[in-house]
Structures are given as structure tokens and as C-alpha cells.
């Protein structure tokens, strides 16, 4: 029987994040195709009391690092070193991390320290000799079938590769304290300050409606038409790369391969052509409505609904119609 699958679990305010729970579900599937090996978790930092509840996500043992020097604030090298040393101590068959910013960073640190290859944003694995896997390239607009070799397999799991698999009534995970020895150099890089997000703003990742603007909006000033509609719907404004490159809007609003991934109930894409690097950021939207002058634009084969026309005419008309209906008390 081979060693356990070790999963780095990100958590905040006493809750594991969603992509980490998906990664545990992925590990559960992988464990059974490896003949039923155990799934173990590494939890670093305050809030580690959530450990036992990970039993419902298939975790047999949660290793908890509480030493404030390591766990007090995020320290990528130290956390990667902790993951590497636990993986070695446990003789892990595989080490998994969520495909988030921190997950990818911690995994790369662990892999570099172990001198082993690692694969990012994996969608599925068939164990064997070697392992065969499918992973995302170009932020998911292209897939790669690859092999992964080595005495221990390291990979990050792409967000939404598998759904969360919570089974209430499962036995609680056992808790094991873990005190890694981490060098001063590893601890030297750590978070030294925080700035809170701007109060009252609807974040792109949480918005139910995102009104997206591209080159077709034409100017920074014309974004007021998008903002008006977003405000009426309690949503947020998102933009294409052309818009941030022109300096019309801040990069924090960019949707796509090098921007944010969004998953609203509705994405209204205005004056956006639908380049694949943009679409990978919004394809998780439940529905897409395109507003575009060009009925042949590639966005038409991605959107569910379309209005053909000049967004400068269409958007104000939609906002006026919403006001008119609300004015009539619905």
C-alpha cells in the first residue's frame, strides 16, 4: 500500500475555502483509484479548529501547524517548506494544492525544495506508471494530456475541476500537531501589512450581475452608461484587456486569462468581441447577453442572448426601461 495523499488546505475565519474543498474531493477520487489510500490535510494558521470537520470531506488526519512564527501570517517559502517536510515525513504518494494564487505558490515552493516536478491546474488523473493527467493551458482555453513521473506526484487542482463532495455523518478527522523546522531565510518573506478592501463596493467575484465593457465602449467617460446599469441591478462593472491597456479602467476590473475569473448569474458583454483570453474569465457565468454592433462577432457563439446594436443606444434604453417599470410600482 502506498502512502497517503497530502492536501494543502487554505482557510480563513475558521472555514476552508471552496477550491480547497474541491481539491479534497479530487483527492478522495484519486485515493480510491489508488486502491483506497488515506487522504490527509495540512492546515497552517489560526482557525485550525476546523480540522475535525474535514472528515466529511474525506480527510482521515489533519496535520495542524500552530507555531505562531510560521502560522501567524502567510509566508510562502515557509509554508512550502512545511508542506515539503510533511510530505517527506508521511511518505506521501501525492501532494495536492488548490489552484488558487496561494495554492500554486506554496506548491511551487514545495516542489522546488523537494527537487520534483509539479503540474499546475490539473483536471483529471489516471494513476499508473507513469501517471497520466489532463491539465489546463492558456487558462483553460487549451488542454494538455501529459505524463507525470517521480517518487511523489505534486499537482494543483484547477478550480471547478470537480464539485465539493461533503458527506455529513462521516467520522471526524484526527488531529495531529505538526512542528516543521523552517529556516530563517524561509521565514524572511512574509506578509508585513494589510489594506482592507474599499467599503461598500460589490466585488467582481461575488456580483450576481456583471456589466462588461470592451473596446466598443470607446472612452473612459462612456463607462458611466455601464455603471448606471450595474448600479440599477446591484452588480459590478468588468472590462476587457483593451480597456485596461487604454487606461480607461483599473486592472482590478479586468476579466480573463490575466484578470479575474467571474461566475455571475448574468454577464452582459457590451462592445466585447469574445477573444478566447476574455472568455476563459467569464464562461462560468450562468448566462451571457451580448450587446454588439457586429452580428458576426465571435462573442455570438459564446453568448446565450444577443442584442445587435450600438451599446450607446441600447444601454441607456435598458436603464430607462428598468426605471420606468420600477416607477410603475411593478
Ligand X SMILES: Cc1cc2nc3c(=O)[nH]c(=O)nc-3n(C[C@H](O)[C@H](O)[C@H](O)COP(=O)(O)OP(=O)(O)OC[C@H]3O[C@@H](n4cnc5c(N)ncnc54)[C@H](O)[C@@H]3O)c2cc1C
Residue closer to other proteins, measured from CB, 86 or 242: 242
Site string for ligand X, 201-230 (x = CB under 6 A): -------------xxx--------------
Number of other CB atoms surrounding residue 196 within 10 Å: 5
Site string for other proteins, 270-289 (x = CB under 8 A): ---xxxxx--------xxxx
> What is the Cα–Cα distance from 22 to 166, expressed in whole angstroms?
10
> What is the Cα–Cα distance from 8 to 102, expressed in whole angstroms?
10
One-character DSSP codes across 30-91: HHHHTTS--EEEEEESTTGGGGGGGGGGTEEEEEEE--HHHHSS--HHHHHHHHHHHHHHHT
Residue closer to ligand X, measured from CB, 63 or 241: 241
Q: Does 49 bind other proteins (CB under 8 A)?
A: no
- Measured between its terminal Cα atoms, the distance across the chain in Å is 65
Q: Which of residues 251-270 bind ligand X (CB under 6 A)?
A: 254-259
Whether residue 307 contacts residue 315, with contact meaning beta carbons closer than 8 Å, is answered with no
CA quadruple 197, 201, 203, 204: dihedral positive or negative? negative
As to burial, measured by CB atoms within 10 angstroms (0-12 exposed, 13-18 middle, 19+ buried), residue 57 is buried
Residue closer to other proteins, measured from CB, 38 or 302: 302
Q: Does 275 bind ligand X (CB under 6 A)?
A: yes
Q: Does 272 bind ligand X (CB under 6 A)?
A: yes
**Shortest gap between Cβ of 217 and ligand X (angstroms)?**
8
Q: Contact region for other proteins (CB under 8 A) — 42-50, 57-65, 102-110, 216-224?
A: 102-110
- Which of other proteins, ligand X, none lies near 214, with the C-beta cut-off 5 to 8 A by kind? ligand X
Q: Does 257 bind other proteins (CB under 8 A)?
A: yes
Q: Which of residues 170-209 bind other proteins (CB under 8 A)?
A: 185, 188-197, 203, 208-209
**Shortest gap between Cβ of 292 and other proteins (angstroms)?**
10
Whether residue 160 contacts residue 22, with contact meaning beta carbons closer than 8 Å, is answered with yes
Residue closer to other proteins, measured from CB, 74 or 170: 74
Which of 34, 72, 74, 202 is close enough to bind other proteins by CB under 8 A? 74
**Shortest gap between Cβ of 297 and other proteins (angstroms)?**
9
Q: Does 148 bind other proteins (CB under 8 A)?
A: yes
Number of other CB atoms surrounding residue 46 within 10 Å: 15
Amino acid at each position: 500500500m502506498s502512502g497517503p495523499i497530502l492536501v494543502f488546505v487554505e482557510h480563513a475565519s475558521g472555514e476552508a475555502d471552496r477550491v480547497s474543498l474541491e481539491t479534497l474531493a479530487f483527492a478522495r477520487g484519486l485515493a480510491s483509484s489508488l486502491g483506497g489510500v488515506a487522504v490527509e490535510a495540512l492546515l497552517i494558521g489560526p482557525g485550525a479548529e476546523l480540522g475535525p470537520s474535514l472528515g466529511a470531506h474525506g480527510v482521515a488526519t489533519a496535520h495542524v501547524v500552530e507555531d505562531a512564527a510560521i502560522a501567524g501570517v502567510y509566508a510562502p517559502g515557509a509554508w512550502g517548506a512545511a508542506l515539503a517536510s510533511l510530505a517527506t515525513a508521511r511518505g506521501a504518494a501525492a501532494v495536492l494544492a488548490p489552484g488558487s494564487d496561494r495554492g500554486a505558490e506554496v506548491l511551487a515552493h514545495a516542489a522546488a525544495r523537494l527537487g520534483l516536478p509539479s503540474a499546475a491546474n490539473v483536471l483529471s488523473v489516471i494513476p499508473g506508471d507513469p501517471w497520466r493527467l489532463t491539465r489546463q493551458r492558456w487558462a483553460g482555453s487549451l488542454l494538455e494530456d501529459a505524463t507525470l513521473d517521480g517518487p511523489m506526484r505534486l499537482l494543483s487542482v484547477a478550480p471547478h475541476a470537480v464539485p465539493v463532495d461533503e458527506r455529513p455523518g462521516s467520522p471526524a478527522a484526527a488531529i495531529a500537531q505538526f512542528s516543521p523546522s523552517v529556516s530563517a531565510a524561509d521565514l524572511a518573506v512574509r506578509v508585513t501589512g494589510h489594506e482592507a478592501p474599499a467599503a461598500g463596493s460589490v466585488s467582481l467575484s461575488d456580483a450576481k450581475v456583471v456589466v462588461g465593457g470592451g473596446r466598443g465602449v470607446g472612452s473612459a467617460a462612456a463607462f458611466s452608461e455601464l455603471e448606471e446599469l450595474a448600479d440599477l441591478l446591484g452588480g459590478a462593472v468588468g472590462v476587457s484587456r483593451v480597456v485596461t491597456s487604454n487606461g480607461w479602467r483599473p486592472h482590478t476590473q479586468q476579466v480573463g486569462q490575466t484578470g479575474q475569473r467571474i461566475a455571475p448569474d448574468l454577464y452582459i458583454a457590451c462592445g466585447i468581441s469574445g477573444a478566447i483570453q476574455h472568455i476563459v474569465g467569464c464562461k462560468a457565468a450562468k448566462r451571457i447577453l451580448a450587446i454588439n454592433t457586429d452580428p458576426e462577432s465571435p462573442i455570438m457563439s459564446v453568448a446565450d442572448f444577443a442584442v445587435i446594436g450600438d451599446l450607446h443606444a441600447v444601454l441607456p434604453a435598458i436603464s430607462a426601461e428598468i426605471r420606468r417599470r420600477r416607477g410603475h410600482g411593478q
